[in-house]
Structure 1
Amino acid sequence: MSNIKTLIHLLCFLLPKFEVIRGKVLEETYLKWVQYKDDCIKKIKNEPLPQEGIFCNRTFDRYACWPDTPAGFMVNISCPFYLPWFDKVSRGSVRRRCGSDGLWKRDDSGQVWRDMRECEEEKEVTSQELWHKQLMVSFRTLYTVGYCTSLCTLTLALVILLSFRKLHCTRNTIHTNLFLSFILRAVAVIVKDTMLERHWGREIIKQTDVSEMLSHQAAIGCRIAQALMQYCVLANHFWFFGEAVYLYSVLISSVFIDNNKYLPYLCLGWGTPLLFVVPWVVVKILKENNECWAVNENMNYWWIIRFPVLFATLINFLIFLKILGVIFSKLRGNNQCQYPDYKLRLAKATLTLIPLFGVHEVLFVFATDEQTTGILRYIKVFSTLFISSFQGLLVALLYCFANKEVQTELKRKLRSWRTKTDIVCCRQ
């Protein structure tokens, strides 16, 4: 049992970071460990037995490969090469002592004694990784709270827009689909995290548990969740794009103005993501069918998902500037004598358009994951997670609860409900 616990410690507490990083290290370490074990078993079977004397038998204790050792001697062997930090302890050794009776020496607990201090990971690295893990856990808590808050607010906003018939129009239909894309994105992220935690957080009792965890069958659930999350994220960005196109068509152009023609928007928002997610899934299956598809070993494949996001973001930014220029000119023409009020209205219009078009993402559009390191990377991760998770809340507040048409319908419904209540009370 102690040997199994040693394996568990090595394979499950190697790198206290995100599950995806831990999963990558776990898989690589396990494959090297299997190679080390196979080599050891072959060596045990093929080497000739000692001719005379008392000796401790050769063995593999799931940590290191031990040769036949004469009684009363200490045996030193190199640190196992499968250790993730092997390059730092390659000159170290692990020790065992053979007793005078030809049995391996045991400690006070009855387990076979082994000194592997020279093969352990440095404490400084462990403390740094622990700090990294705590920071990543804080980030995860932040965006989980953000997505849950946005999910509740958007669900209520979606129910309101669907409940009132007078609010049914092309503009609100696009808002409704945008809300739905936010809801699906939040649910997909939460489900993906749950599946990853379930996949990598399962209890390991024996060696077969590790191989089962790393098998393709065990990863199917989290791979499906990963693919659905990518689809929902792309759908969310393309519904931002649809919002931008509609507002541009109303204010500047004459594209898709007919209230009965929102089918093109449906194809844009829900259909276009399939053109990128399906090829990405195929590439993952053929080229990177590892773990839960959460690690992008070849960043060229990741551009299948990244390109449409960057494209939609940049086009939205150009539309944002064009519409902002139109609003600027109209406000300046109507408020030549009311400059302070004009500035306030322009600021309000800008605040409304930014979450509508997702223009904030332009700040990091060229700061890719490969280019950002150190503090800049943490700033990008924090900003992206914070804005993306709480953006649904802001959109629901601006385009539903702060909408005058919605407020009017809610007040009318409230007055109608009060009138009915008063009538019932009077009859009683």
Structure 2
Amino acid sequence: MGMRLWKDMQQIVGAGFTHDTGLPTWFEVAKATFLQETYQKWLLYKDDCVKMIETELVPQGGLFCNRTFDRYACWPDTPADSMVNISCPFYLPWFDKVSQGVVRRSCGPTGIWDEDDNGQVWRDKSQCEDELEVTAQELWLKQLMVSFRMLYTIGYSLSLSTLTMALIILLSFRKLHCTRNYIHANFFLSFILRAVSVIVKDTMLERHWGREIVKHSDVSDMLSHQAAIGCRIAQVMMQYCVLANHHWCFGEALYLYYVLIASVFIDNNKLLPYICVGWGMPVLFVVPWVVMKLLKENKECWAFNENMNYWWIIRCPILFASLINFMIFLRVIKVILSKLRASSNQRGYPDYKLRLAKATLTLIPLFGIHELIFIFATDEQTTGLLRYIKVFFTLFLNSFQGFIVAVLYCYANKEVRSELKRKSHNWRTEAVLMCCGQ
């Protein structure tokens, strides 16, 4: 089976798709679906050809080239010293455009198929090739996807670096060890794991669908369950990390709610309930989703949701946490507003509205309020320009949210800054004493 043909096949299944990593899942889904449908049609074409080869009668008398299937087209017995034309194979994705075209072969005077200069059987398939015209819209879309990738790569890289340093700071200084900062530390860790899991998932998808096709078994291997194990595990881990990130966002909201509003009902020094909410509850939703995928949609890398009802197993807790966070956000803002008003009346501070706006903007990334912008604009409901707008805001806000949270609740935190200044002063003093001692 020729490598030349399978390079042709790879061009077929790869035509019109970008191999950029980090793009929204539906690009990988489209590519996977495209490959599988083309391969299934090719298998059907091959089976029909094999039946023809086995059942048709052999011509009587004279020289002729034997019927054959060259992995691209099905060729009948052909008289010597003649040209044979057959219709373009129906499995070609662009068959509608070339249905009137033909692919040709030449049978030599000795009854052997003619070869080209490279020793391969000559074949003219120019009429069956698709003219890939890059339109202005396609060029714009490609540039848009490259911009999206650059955007959220910068966002996640910046978030990873700032969150990692913020996590080290919170855990290194003993005076910063308290329930509030422990919750912040777990929240930071959930952002880190979310960013890493998204990057790993994209890499695994690209590795799975970007492999080179050089022989017959490569396509079937690519579509097998064994080949998809790695990207499925990455998909599961990403879903868990995304859920954990939302649940730790929910935990942050609960802690602030109990501190400001319902402190008499809970012991705020206990971290275990928040750990159960942040790291434990996502398991209750990821496991059923995995079971339903195994039983009902066990295809490729589990990136495509044929039955959206199963996807609600993941979507529901995220929507629920976002809505509860929004209600807590409103309650907390109301409490802050009343306290600022009382303080301004007692001390004569007229700028309480500015302070309220500052507090509101500070709480938005902590509570994940930005999730409500497209909370009801689901993937199956958004098309065209609205979909690109949603993708942009989702990628931008999700990738930079970790950076914003790290800055607001670590680097800009007065307690953290004073501790860093104190430690820095102590280190300088120790350095001076060591120098003087020497």
Bin of the TM-score, shorter chain as denominator length: over 0.9
C-alpha distance in structure 2 between counterparts of 1:425 and 1:264, whole Å: 49
In the superposition, relative to structure 1, how do residues 377 and 56 fare at CA in structure 2: closer, same or farther (>3 Å)? same
Given that 1:256 and 1:262 are in contact with CA atoms closer than 8 Å, whether structure 2 keeps it comes out as: no
The residue type equivalent to 1:187 in the other structure is: V
AA aligned to 2:403 is: L
Cα distance in 2 for partners of 1:142, 1:103 equals 57
Change (3 A) 1:215 1:131: farther
Question: What is the percentage of aligned positions where both structures have the same residue?
Answer: 72
1:94-109 alignment runs, 5 A limit: 94-107=103-116, 109=118
Is the 8 Å Cα contact of residues 24 and 291 (structure 1) preserved in structure 2?
no
With over 3 angstroms needed to count, the CA separation of the structure-2 counterparts of 1:92 and 1:131, relative to structure 1, is: farther
Task: Give the one of 371, 380, 384 matched to 2:381.
Answer: 371
Change (3 A) 1:311 1:48: same
* Cα deviation, residue 234, structure 1: 0.2
Q: Does 1:142 align with 2:159?
A: no
Structure 1 contact 16–130 (Cα < 8 Å) conserved: no
SS of 2:314's equivalent? Answer: helix
SS at structure 1 position matched to 2:85 = strand
SS in 1 for 2:112: coil
Which residue of the other structure, out of 3, 7, 10, is the alignment partner of 2:9? 7
Q: Give the letter aligned to residue 421 of structure 2.
A: K
Query: 2:159–2:399: 8 Å Cα contact kept in structure 1?
Result: yes
1:284 aligns with 2:286: no
Equivalence for 1:213? 222
| TM-score, length-scaled by structure 1 | 0.93
What is the one-letter code of the residue matched to 2:18? P
Q: Which range is displaced more, 59-68 or 69-78?
A: 69-78
- Tell me the C-alpha RMSD between the 2 structures: 2.2
- Contact 1:246–1:256, Cα closer than 8 Å, also in 2: no
Which residue does the alignment assign to 2:22? none
Distance 1:16 1:73 in 2: 42
Counterpart residue type for residue 368 of structure 1: T
Query: How far 1:280 moved relative to its partner?
Result: 0.7
* Residue identity in the other structure for 1:4: W
State how many pairs are aligned.
427
Query: What corresponds to 1:380 in structure 2?
Result: 390
State the distance in 1 between where 2:66 and 2:141 align.
43
Distance 1:257 1:410, change over 3 A: farther
Structure 1 residues 47-86: aligned runs within 5 Å:
47-86=56-95
The offset of 1:135, in angstroms, is 2.8
- Structure-1 residue corresponding to 2:55: 46
Residue 224 of structure 1 corresponds to 233
Aligned pair in 2 of structure 1 residues 268, 112: CA closer, same or farther (>3 Å)? same
State TM-score, norm by structure 2.
Answer: 0.91
Residue 357 of structure 2 aligns with which residue? 347
Matched, 1:273 2:282: yes
How big is the shift at 1:26?
1.5
Counterpart residue number, 2:23:
none
Following superposition, the deviation at residue 211 of structure 1 comes to 1.9
1:313–1:358 contact (8 Å) kept in structure 2:
yes
Deviates more, 1:286-295 or 1:67-76: 67-76
Q: Point out the more displaced range, 152-161 or 101-110.
A: 101-110
* CA distance in 2 between partners of 1:72 and 1:108 (Å): 19
Mapped to 1, the partners of 2:338 and 2:88 lie a distance apart of 72
Alpha-carbon deviation of 1:310?
Answer: 1.1
Q: 2:188 aligned to 164, 179, 202, which one?
A: 179
Deviations 1:85-116 (A, max 9, x none): 33444444333343444333444555433333
